[in-house]
C-alpha cells in the first residue's frame, strides 16, 4: 500500500513543479535585461521584505530561481536545465531529489540555498568529504557572492573566529560530521563567546543516503582521556584468540554484537583464576574481555580499519575513506591496537555524543540529493518526514546494465574478471573495477600486476590523489581499481574517442551489502547520455552469501549446475542474490532502528541538559531561578528522606538532615524535637523563608558576585555529571544486549532504567549547584551580618 500512495504523491508534486518551471522559464528574458547591480539589489530587497513579513518564500521562489539561473549563466557560463529547476524546487520544500550521476546535482543546490538564505537564518550545504565542500563553496559560492550573499566553509581544525565567521555566513558549506561535532563542542563551551553555531534553519545534504543511512549506525562521539591498563589489553587479546566461535562465544549478525557462552565464561574464569566473571569486583576484567572479543570478531584489518604509521585508522565501509579524527571509545580502540600488537594510546571515554539521525532532526527544514534514494524511501519518510522525488533525466540513460555472472569459486570469478579486463583494455576502453574493501582491491591489483597491466589504485591507503585519479578514469586505455570511494561526488568524464569504444565499462567484483551501493557503482558510467556498461562478477564464496545467508547458500548449492568454467546457470541463483541482499539491508535497517530507539532515550535527556546549559551561558543565572530551584529540590529531598504518611522510624534522618542543611544555611534540625513529618516541614520552610530574605537582601555587588560565580560553577557541575551519566548509559547499553538473550524487551528496560538514572543525575546536579550557592553565600556575607541572622532551632 505504501509504494502506490507515495508514487501518487510524488507524481502530483512533479506536475506541480513542472508548472512552476514554465513560470521560471517565462521570467528568463526579463532578468536577462537586468544589470549585475540590479540583480544584487533584488537580494537585498527580498531579504528585507522577508524580515518584515511583507512576502513569503512561496511568493518569491520562481523569481529567486530565475535570478540564480541568470547569475549562473553570467558567472559560471552554466544554464540550469529544466530538470535541475525541478530538483531545486523539491529541495526547497524539504524533499529528497533523486537524480542520477552526471545530472548536475551541485548546480541544483545553488537554487534552494540562495532562496532559503534570503530568510537570513543561515543555510547549511553538507557534503560527504572536505574536497567536495571546498570545491562546491568555491564554484557554487561564486553565484551566491555575485548576488550579494556571504559564503562560509566549515572544515575541521579551523580557529574559533574562522568557525564563527563560517557559521555567520548566509550559506555555509562543510562536512556533515563536522557540523555534528560543532554541535557537541558548542555544548561543551565554557562561555557563549566560545560557541559557533546559530539556531538551525535549512540544510541541503548532498549524497543524503550516504550520510543519513550509511553513516547513521556510527554515532558522533567526543571523547576525553582516562588511564588504561595497556598490559591487560594485550593479555586479553592473546586470550581471546584461544576461544572458538559457537562453543565459546556467539555472534549476532543483526545487532553486530558478541556474547560469551557458558563455556566461554568458564574459560575466562579458569584463565584469570576468578570465581564469577559477573561479580562487581571483576567488572573491569569483563570490560577488557568484552572489548577484546569485539575487536577480534567484529573488526577486520583492511576492511574496517587500516594500520598506518603505527596507528589504527577507521574506514567508512560505505565510502571506503578513512574517517579522519575518528576513534572508538570506551577502550575498544585500544583493544584493536592490542590485537595488532601496537603501542596502546590513552583510552577514550565519552563526554558528548549524538547519533547522525538525531543531529539532523534538529533542522526545521531538511532536504537532500542522491542518485539512489528510492530504495530507502520508507526510512526517510519515517525518520525524517522526507519524500523521495525521482527527477526526470535531462537525456536518456544509454548505459547497458548486464545480468550478474556468477561462479562457484572465487578463483573462477577472478579469471573471468581478468578476461573481461584484457579484452576491453586491448581496444582501449576505460575500465573501472569496483571492490567492497581495501583487501579486495589489493587482490585485484596483484592479479593485474602479474598480467603486466598498468592501472591506478584508489582506496583509503592512497587517498591523496583521489580527484586526479577519478578525472583520469574515463581516459582511453585507463584501468582504475577502487573501493566505494569512486562511487560518489565526482563525475568521470570520457576522454576523446572513448564514446566510440562503448564508454566507461564498470566491473563489480562482488555485490555490496546494499543495492544502493551497487547502483552507485553502476552509475559511474553513462552520465548525461554517454554510452557505458556495467557487469557484476560474483562467486558463491563471496562474503555477502557466506556471512548473511549461509543456510540458504548450502541448500541452494545442491540444486545448481555449473559449466566447465565454473559458471552457474540457473534463474534461482539471481533470486538468491536479491534475497540475500534484502536480508542484509533488513539487518542494517534494524541496526539503525535499534540505534535510534536507544538514542531516543539519551536524546530527550541531552535536550534537557543542553537547554539548561544554553540558558546558563546565554542568559546567566537570576536570583528567582535559584530560589525556584531551592524550593523544588527541598520538596524532593523531603519526599525522599521523610516520605509523606511515614513514621519516625522510617526516616533517613542523618542523610536527610545533612542534605537539607547543605541546601539551606540558616537551617539546623534538632533531631530530638522532631516528632512527626509536619515538624520537619515547618522548620525547613521557616528556614527557607529566612534564607530567601537574606539572598534578596544582598547588595548589588554581592549579588552580582554570587550569580556570576555560580554561573561558571553550574556549567562545570553539569558537564561533570553529564559525562558520568553517559558512562552509566553506556554500561546500561552493554547490559541491555545481554537482556535480549533473556527474552526481555530491551528497549522498554533501557527506557525505564535510563529515565531512573537521569532522575538521579539531574537531582545530583541541582543539589550540587545549590550547595555551592549556600557555600558562596556564607563566604560573601560578613561576620557582622552572620551574627544578626537568626538560626532556627
Tallying the residues shown for the chain, one arrives at: 793
Measure the CA–CA gap between 253 and 67, rounded to whole angstroms. 52
Residue 32 marked ligand-binding: no
Give the CA distances from residue 380 to residues 142, 366, 628, in Å, rounded to whole numbers and listed in that order: 32, 11, 42
Q: Confirm or deny that 719 is annotated as ligand binding.
A: no
Neighbouring residues of 13: CB distance < 8 A, sequence distance ≥ 6: 90, 93, 95, 387, 389
d(CA 774, CA 770): 6
CA distances from 389 to 166, 277, 281, 367, 383 (A): 31, 54, 56, 11, 17
Distance, CA of 342 to CA of 334 (rounded, Å):
9
CA distance 706 to 46: 47
Sequence-separated (6 or more) residues with CB below 8 Å from residue 489: 127, 128, 129, 131, 132, 206, 207
Q: To the nearest 10°, report the CA torsion of 496, 501, 506, 507.
A: -140
- Give the closest residue to 248 by CA, choosing from 227, 221, 271: 271
Dmax (CA) of the chain: 104
**Using CA atoms, how far apart are residues 458 and 612, in angstroms rounded to an integer?**
47
Buried b / exposed e over 53-67, threshold 16 CB at 10 Å, is: eeeebeebbbbbbbb
| Distance, CA of 167 to CA of 196 (rounded, Å) | 7
Provide the sign of the torsion angle of the four alpha carbons 602, 604, 609, 614, taken in this order: positive
SS3 526: coil
Q: What is the DSSP string of 170-234?
A: SEEEEEHHHHHHHHHHHTT-SSGGG--PPPP-EEEEETHHIIIIISTTS-EEEEEEE---HHHHH
| Cβ 96 vs Cβ 389: under 8 Å | yes
Which residues have C-beta within 8 Å of that of residue 62, sequence separation ≥ 6?
20, 23, 24, 27
What cell was used for 159?
580557529
Containing 260, the helix (H) or strand (E) segment is strand 257-260
211-236 burial string, b = 16+ CB within 10 Å, else e? bbbbbbbbbbbbbeeeebbbebbbbb
654 sits in which H/E element: helix 653-663
Separation of alpha carbons 729 and 634, rounded Å = 27
DSSP 604: H
Q: Are 437 and 510 a contacting pair, CB within 8 Å?
A: no
Query: Measured between alpha carbons, how far is residue 177 from residues 182, 215, 216 in Å?
Result: 9, 9, 11
Q: Which residue has the cell 564514446?
A: 499
Stretch (H or E) spanning 251: strand 249-252
Q: What's the distance, Cα to Cα, between the start and end of the chain in Å?
A: 73
In contact, 64 and 118? CB cutoff 8 Å: yes
Contact criterion met (CB below 8 Å) for 472 and 504: no
Q: 103 a known binding residue?
A: yes
105 appears as a binding residue in the annotation: yes
CB 684 within 8 A of CB 667: yes
Q: Find cell 530527550 and name the residue.
A: 604
Determine how β-strand 249-252 pairs with β-strand 257-260. Answer: antiparallel
- Is position 70 annotated in a ligand binding site? no
| 90 labeled binding residue | no
Residue ranges in 189-331 assigned as alpha helix (H): 208-209, 230-240, 262-271, 283-298
Only one residue has cell 579524527, namely: 325
104 known ligand binder:
yes
Q: Residues within the annotated binding site for ATP?
A: 84, 102-106, 491
Q: Residues within the annotated binding site?
A: 84, 102-106, 491
Amino acid at each position: 500500500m505504501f509504494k502506490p500512495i507515495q508514487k501518487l504523491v510524488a507524481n502530483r508534486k512533479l506536475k506541480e513543479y513542472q508548472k512552476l518551471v514554465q513560470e521560471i522559464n517565462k521570467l528568463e528574458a526579463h532578468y536577462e535585461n537586468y544589470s549585475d547591480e540590479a540583480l544584487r539589489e533584488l537580494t537585498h530587497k527580498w531579504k528585507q521584505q522577508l524580515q518584515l513579513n511583507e512576502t513569503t518564500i512561496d511568493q518569491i521562489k520562481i523569481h529567486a530561481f530565475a535570478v540564480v539561473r541568470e547569475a549562473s549563466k553570467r558567472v559560471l557560463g552554466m544554464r540550469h536545465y529544466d530538470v535541475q529547476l525541478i530538483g531545486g524546487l523539491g529541495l526547497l520544500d524539504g524533499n529528497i531529489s533523486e537524480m542520477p550521476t552526471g545530472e548536475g546535482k551541485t548546480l541544483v543546490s545553488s537554487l534552494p540555498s540562495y532562496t532559503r538564505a534570503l530568510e537570513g537564518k543561515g543555510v547549511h550545504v553538507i557534503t560527504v568529504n572536505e574536497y567536495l565542500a571546498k570545491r562546491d563553496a568555491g564554484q557554487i559560492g561564486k553565484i551566491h557572492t555575485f548576488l550579494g550573499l556571504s559564503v562560509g566553509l566549515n572544515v575541521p581544525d579551523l580557529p574559533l573566529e574562522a568557525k564563527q565567521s563560517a557559521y555567520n555566513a548566509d550559506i555555509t558549506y562543510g562536512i556533515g560530521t563536522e557540523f555534528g561535532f560543532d554541535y557537541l563542542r558548542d555544548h561543551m563551551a565554557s562561555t557563549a563567546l566560545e560557541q559557533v553555531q546559530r539556531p538551525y534553519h535549512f540544510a541541503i545534504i548532498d549524497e543524503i543516503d550516504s550520510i543519513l543511512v550509511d553513516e547513521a549506525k556510527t554515532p558522533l562521539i567526543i571523547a576525553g582521556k582516562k588511564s588504561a591498563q595497556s598490559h591487560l589489553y594485550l593479555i586479553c587479546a592473546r586470550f581471546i584468540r584461544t576461544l572458538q566461535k559457537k562453543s565459546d562465544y556467539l555472534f549476532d549478525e543483526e545487532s553486530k554484537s558478541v556474547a560469551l557462552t557458558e563455556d566461554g565464561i568458564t574459560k575466562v574464569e579458569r584463565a584469570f583464576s576468578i570465581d564469577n566473571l559477573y561479580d562487581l569486583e571483576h567488572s573491569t576484567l569483563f570490560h577488557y574481555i568484552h572489548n577484546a572479543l569485539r575487536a577480534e570478531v567484529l573488526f577486520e584489518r583492511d576492511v574496517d580499519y587500516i594500520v598506518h604509521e603505527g596507528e589504527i585508522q577507521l574506514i567508512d565501509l560505505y565510502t571506503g575513506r578513512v574517517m579522519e579524527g575518528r576513534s572508538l571509545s570506551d577502550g575498544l580502540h585500544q583493544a584493536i591496537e592490542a590485537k595488532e600488537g601496537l603501542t596502546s594510546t590513552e583510552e577514550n571515554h565519552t563526554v558528548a555524543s549524538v547519533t547522525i539521525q538525531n543531529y539532523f532532526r534538529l533542522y526545521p527544514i531538511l532536504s537532500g540529493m542522491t542518485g539512489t534514494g528510492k530504495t530507502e524511501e520508507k526510512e526517510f519518510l519515517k525518520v525524517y518526514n522526507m519524500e523521495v522525488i525521482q527527477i526526470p533525466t535531462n537525456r536518456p540513460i544509454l548505459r547497458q546494465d548486464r545480468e550478474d555472472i556468477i561462479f562457484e569459486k572465487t578463483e573462477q570469478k577472478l579469471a573471468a574478471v581478468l578476461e573481461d579486463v584484457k579484452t576491453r583494455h586491448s581496444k582501449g576502453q576505460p575500465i573501472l573495477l569496483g571492490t567492497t574493501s581495501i583487501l579486495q582491491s589489493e587482490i585485484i591489483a596483484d592479479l593485474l600486476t602479474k598480467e603486466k597491466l598498468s592501472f591506478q589504485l584508489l582506496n583509503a591507503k592512497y587517498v591523496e590523489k583521489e580527484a586526479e585519479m577519478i578525472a583520469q578514469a574515463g581516459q582511453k586505455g585507463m584501468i582504475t581499481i577502487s573501493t566505494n570511494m569512486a562511487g560518489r561526488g565526482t563525475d568521470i568524464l570520457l576522454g576523446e574517442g572513448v564514446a566510440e569504444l562503448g564508454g566507461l565499462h564498470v566491473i563489480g567484483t562482488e555485490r555490496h551489502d546494499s543495492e544502493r551501493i551497487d547502483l552507485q557503482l553502476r552509475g559511474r558510467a553513462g552520465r548525461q547520455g554517454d554510452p557505458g556498461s556495467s557487469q557484476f562478477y560474483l562467486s558463491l564464496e563471496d562474503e555477502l552469501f557466506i556471512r548473511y545467508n549461509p543456510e540458504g547458500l548450502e541448500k541452494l548449492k545442491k540444486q545448481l549446475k555449473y559449466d566447465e568454467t565454473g559458471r552457474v546457470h540457473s534463474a534461482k541463483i539471481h533470486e538468491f542474490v536479491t534475497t540475500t541482499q534484502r536480508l542484509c539491508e533488513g539487518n542494517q535497517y534494524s541496526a539503525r532502528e535499534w540505534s535510534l530507539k536507544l538514542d531516543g532515550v539519551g536524546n530527550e535527556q541531552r535536550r534537557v541538559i543542553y537547554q539548561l546549559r544554553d540558558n546558563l551561558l546565554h542568559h546567566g543565572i537570576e536570583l528567582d531561578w535559584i530560589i525556584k530551584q531551592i524550593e523544588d529540590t527541598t520538596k524532593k529531598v523531603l519526599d525522599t528522606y521523610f516520605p509523606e504518611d511515614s513514621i519516625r522510624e522510617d526516616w533517613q534522618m542523618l542523610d536527610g538532615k545533612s542534605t537539607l542543611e547543605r541546601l539551606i544555611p540558616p537551617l539546623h534540625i534538632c533531631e530530638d524535637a522532631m516528632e512527626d513529618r509536619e515538624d520537619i516541614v515547618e522548620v525547613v520552610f521557616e528556614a527557607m523563608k529566612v534564607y530567601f530574605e537574606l539572598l534578596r537582601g544582598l547588595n548589588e555587588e554581592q549579588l552580582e558576585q554570587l550569580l556570576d560565580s555560580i554561573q561558571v560553577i553550574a556549567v562545570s557541575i553539569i558537564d561533570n555529571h553529564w559525562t558520568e551519566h553517559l558512562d552509566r548509559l553506556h554500561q546500561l547499553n552493554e547490559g541491555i544486549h545481554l537482556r535480549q538473550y533473556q527474552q526481555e524487551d530491551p528497549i522498554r528496560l533501557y527506557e525505564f532504567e535510563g529515565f531512573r538514572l537521569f532522575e538521579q543525575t539531574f537531582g545530583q546536579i541541582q543539589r550540587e549547584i545549590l550547595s555551592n550557592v549556600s557555600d558562596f553565600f556564607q563566604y560573601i556575607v560578613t561576620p557582622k551580618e552572620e551574627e544578626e541572622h537568626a538560626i532556627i532551632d
